[in-house]
Amino acid sequence: MPDHDPTHWRLPDHPSLEWLKRRAKRLRRLVDDGDPQALSLVERYDPGAGPVTLSRAQRVVARAHGYAGWSRLVADVRQREALSRPMAPTSDADDDVEAFLRAAVLSYTEPLAEPVPEPSRTTVHTLAALGRADELAAVLDADPSLVRAEGGPHAWVPLLYLCYSRVPQADAVGTLRLLLDRGADPDAGFLWQGMPSPFTALTGVLGGGERGEPPHPQAVWLATMLLDAGADPNDNQAFYNRAFEPDDSHLPPLLSHGAGHERPSPWRDRLGRAYPSPAQMVGEHLRSAAAAGFAQRVSLLLAAGVSPDTRGYHPVLGDATAYEVAVTRGQTECAALLADAGADTSGLDEDDLTLGRALAGTAEPGHPAVDGLPDRRPDAMRLAAELHGVAALEALVALGYDISTPGRWRTTALHEAALRGNEEMCRWLLERGASTTARDERFDATPAGWADHAGHAELAELLETDVD
């Protein structure tokens, strides 16, 4: 069976009953063949004599995933399927209502469209997206059940179209108040393409994300209204989406309503241990802030009682504490804040400290190369380009790094500089022989491809012409 400790089994992002059934059938076959690992698995999760029937194998698989039995696992997977939304790209449908709603809201699948022509007819969902409180009130007076009616291209309730809308709205505050007063669920949300981190109404108004989607123009006011109405401030996707920019306006309403502290959560009830705990969420937000050098955010989170020694769950940062993350990424101000807050500073070795000084620009002049350092810490050049600049790259070259040393996912410093449109850094790297043909493992793309993807057409052309 699996090649890892079965107590750590997790459902995939897109769990399928067919996949789970195949897993149970495979377990049964392996037991019949006398496979020691399969026999150990059965003994661990369903001890006792007797044949391993298919139903017993299913029970073992369910318990290995943390469920009491197969029926509970099946119910959970079916619930996830019901909550999932494909968020597919724009269809070719002629319905201008669907076209309007697709173009008007954040989908985290395709960029917002401008301008967005209004549809020829209105529905409860278009009225919510447009923030037309008075017209929406008349519709709900006629049929109160429509306040929770799923519809439109994403099968959302009206509240979600309001919160994810980025077209001009007549009265967003009044529309939100109306929907909440009429019984809309402040914790309404969906699973984006089935992934187990819900995109809620709160997620929608706060915006952000890897592509920097804009927050709602009245984000703080609407978020506060949702939280006052009972929305869970422990919103994992909201914390993740707001981790990429230094704007901290999301934190006061979330922290003042209890983010980081245990409280009833409908999404944790639905997703179980697939959903991080409140402490893990704010701890991960602290780690991401330390990694990015967002010192003000680090201060806010520490003042709110977030532990400086929290270890997170995001694979990019591994199991390092926020202090360790800050030091190894050259974020000296954040590291000092965390140390002053009592962080454990003993978990770093000399390689980590040397690299931290190089990235931060505090390395000793003329520091000799460190034998084997690029092999032990290969991600440093990429991090220097992502987080710092030419001075950090120069310091790393002095420590023995090649100009094209690949880091995580075989991403080079030139990839990172190209993504950010940093022509000065790109030229510096090119002058020292950086490879323009290196391809990363995630996208199989050259630095020119990264520049083009980020919209830096002139830089992409430069990188394409300057070939090895």
CATH label of the domain that carries residue 290:
1.25.40.20
More confident call, 367 vs 213: 213
What is the rounded distance in angstroms from the CA atom of residue 39 to the CA atom of residue 2? 13
Q: Which of 19-23, 89-93, 103-107, 149-153 has the lowest mean pLDDT?
A: 89-93
373 part of a folded domain: yes
How much is the pLDDT for 371? 87
How much is the pLDDT for 1? 35
413 part of a folded domain: yes
Question: Is a pLDDT exceeding 90 seen at residue 83?
Answer: no
Same domain, yes or no: 111 and 72: no
Contacts of 238 (CB under 8 A, 6+ apart): 200, 202, 203, 206, 250, 254
Q: Which long-range contacts (CB under 8 A, 24 or more apart) does 310-317 make?
A: 310/279, 310/280, 310/282, 310/283, 310/284, 310/286, 311/283, 312/280, 312/283, 312/284, 312/287, 313/276, 313/280, 313/284, 314/284, 314/287, 314/288, 316/408, 317/287, 317/288, 317/291
Give the confidence band of 466 by pLDDT, cuts at 50, 70, 90.
low
| Residue carrying structure tokens 């909440």 | 180
Same domain, yes or no: 384 and 434: yes
Mean pLDDT of 317-331: 91
- Percent of the chain at pLDDT exceeding 70: 96
pLDDT tens digit sequence for 267-314: 998 887 778 999 999 999 999 999 999 999 999 999 999 999 988 777
Mean pLDDT of 439-466: 90
Same domain, yes or no: 317 and 441: no
What is the rounded distance in angstroms from the CA atom of residue 129 to the CA atom of residue 164? 8
246 part of a folded domain: no
Q: Which two structure tokens, joined as six digits, stand for 411? A: 């991403």
Same domain, yes or no: 101 and 225: yes
Q: Which two structure tokens, joined as six digits, stand for 424? A: 């000065």
Q: Which of 9-13, 67-71, 302-306, 355-359 has the lowest mean pLDDT?
A: 9-13
Q: Which of 71-85, 87-101, 140-154, 416-430 has the lowest mean pLDDT?
A: 87-101
For 74-86, b/e burial (b = at least 16 CB within 10 A) is bebbeebeebbbe
Closest CA to 35 of 75, 3, 77: 3
Q: Which two structure tokens, joined as six digits, stand for 247? A: 């704007």
What is the rounded distance in angstroms from the CA atom of residue 233 to the CA atom of residue 263? 9
Contacts of 280 (CB under 8 A, 6+ apart): 310, 312, 313
pLDDT tens digit sequence for 172-225: 999 999 999 999 999 999 999 888 899 999 999 999 998 889 999 999 999 999
39 part of a folded domain: yes
446 part of a folded domain: yes
How much is the pLDDT for 76? 84
Q: How many domains does the chain have?
A: 4
Same domain, yes or no: 130 and 225: yes
How much is the pLDDT for 94? 64
Same domain, yes or no: 228 and 164: yes
Same domain, yes or no: 222 and 117: yes
Mean pLDDT of 258-267: 94
Same domain, yes or no: 55 and 149: no
More confident call, 58 vs 313: 58
Q: Tell which of 219, 234, 249 closes a domain.
A: 234
Q: Which of 6-10, 296-300, 346-350 has the lowest mean pLDDT?
A: 6-10
Q: Tell which of 206, 234, 262 closes a domain.
A: 234
Same domain, yes or no: 216 and 135: yes
How much is the pLDDT for 4? 34
More confident call, 166 vs 110: 166
Q: Which two structure tokens, joined as six digits, stand for 92? A: 């070719």
Q: Which of 113-127, 284-298, 353-367 has the lowest mean pLDDT?
A: 353-367
Closest CA to 270 of 197, 201, 206: 197
Contacts of 437 (CB under 8 A, 6+ apart): 446, 467, 468
The alpha carbon of residue 353 and the mean position of all alpha carbons in its chain are separated, in whole angstroms, by 28
Closest CA to 391 of 411, 362, 368: 362
Q: How far is CA 92 from CA 80, 167, 256, 312, in A?
A: 28, 21, 44, 42
Same domain, yes or no: 75 and 101: no
Range of the domain at 16: 6-81
Give the confidence band of 90 by pLDDT, cuts at 50, 70, 90.
low
Average pLDDT of the residues of the chain: 90
How much is the pLDDT for 467? 53
Same domain, yes or no: 73 and 105: no
198 part of a folded domain: yes
| Residue carrying structure tokens 């209105």 | 122
Q: Tell which of 32, 52, 81 closes a domain.
A: 81
Mean pLDDT of 140-169: 97
Residue 429's identity, in one-letter code, is L
R_g (Cα) of the chain, nearest Å: 25
144 part of a folded domain: yes
How much is the pLDDT for 127? 98
Same domain, yes or no: 212 and 285: no
What is the rounded distance in angstroms from the CA atom of residue 18 to the CA atom of residue 418? 42
Question: Is a pLDDT exceeding 50 seen at residue 134?
Answer: yes
381 part of a folded domain: yes
